[in-house]
Structure formats: C-alpha cells, structure tokens
Amino acid sequence: MMNPQPSTRERLIASGLPLLLERGYHGLGLQALLAATGVPKGSFYHHFRDKEDFALQVVDAYMREVHAGLDACLDDASLAPLDRVRRFFEMTQQVYQSQGYMGCLLGGLGQELAGVSDTFRKKIETCFTGIASRLVVCLKEARQRGDLPATSDPPQLAALLVDCWEGAALRSRLQRDLAPLDAMLDFYFRSAGAS
C-alpha cells in the first residue's frame, strides 16, 4: 500500500523547518516558502492564521521529531541509562551535520525571538523543559544503578545538559563542525559521573 501524498499543510511545515533554520524567523519571507512548495498564498492562510502561527506549528512538528528520537534512544533497554542519553545527543549531532550544521531550531528561534515575543519565549522554554524532563528518567535510573553519585540531582543534571548542549550547538553552527558538541558531551558525562 502506497503512502498518501503529504497534505498542503504538511508540505508547508516540512519546507518551513529548513527555511527557519537557515534564515530565521525574520528572514523567512512568505514568498520564499510559497515558491519552495508551489502553494498559493490563499492556501497558506487556509492552514495558518499568520506567520507566527506557522512558525509555532513548525516548532510543534520539530518537537514531534525530537520526542520520536528520545523514544528511540531512551527506551532502548539494551543500553545503560547514560549510554541511552548520550545516544540521543549523538543521533541529534548526525541530524545537525546532515542539515549543514544549522543547529537546533529551538535555540535559533529562542535567540532571535525571546526578547521580542513572549509567545515564542514561553513556547521554546516549554520545549526545553519537556526534553529535560524526558532525560530525568534515565538519569534517575543511572543514579539508582550507581552510574551517577547518590548525591546527584537528576533534574538539575538534565537541565544543565540541555543548557550546555544548546551553547555547544551554537558554537557548532558558527564553526560548521561537530567538535564543540563532541567536547561538550565528553566533558559533561565525565563530570557527571565524578560529581
């Protein structure tokens, strides 16, 4: 059975992700999006109230991909908990590399819009918090197994991991290289186990 063709809305969102990564919110023109998809302007407004609504729906689609990656890695009981966490970030590195080192959509939009849009600031903070909360489960399991010190604080470690990752993702984008991400992961996991 063949897969159905993506809907107009799905095509717009799929094209919007790389355009938002490359150009940012303010640099994304509606004409460029419509040209990339061959969708008429009226169809855009049938599916989205405005550019903000469109970008927020792209973030939702991006987060579905992130959570699918978290599911695939964090639910893999064949790996130790810390290896599952690291595997998620290594998989994300591969995605960044395949996209030309454009980095994290959340980080890019957060840096661009957090100071001017409360809607985006809250949305992106909720996304980061959601990612960290998924990591906490594995970090708690790692602490129970003795892979992390008994005194470690899994919620704090998860939040710190997300924060460090976002900084390294920015550096990776600037340098067009995975080295900052590799260095951050090595340092984080070495330090977390020793704390």
Round to whole Å and give the CA distance between 172 and 170: 5
Taking the alpha carbons at both ends of the chain, their separation in whole angstroms is 53
Digit-coded pLDDT (tens) for 54-100:
999 999 999 999 999 999 999 999 999 999 999 999 999 999 999 99
Going along the chain from its start, the domains and CATH numbers come out as 8-194 (1.10.357.10)
What pLDDT does residue 5 have?
80
Angle, CA of 150, 153 and 156, to the nearest 5°:
160
Residue 147's nearest CA partner among 77, 82, 79 is 82
Position 3 pLDDT exceeds 90: no
The rounded percent of the chain whose pLDDT value lies above 90 is 92
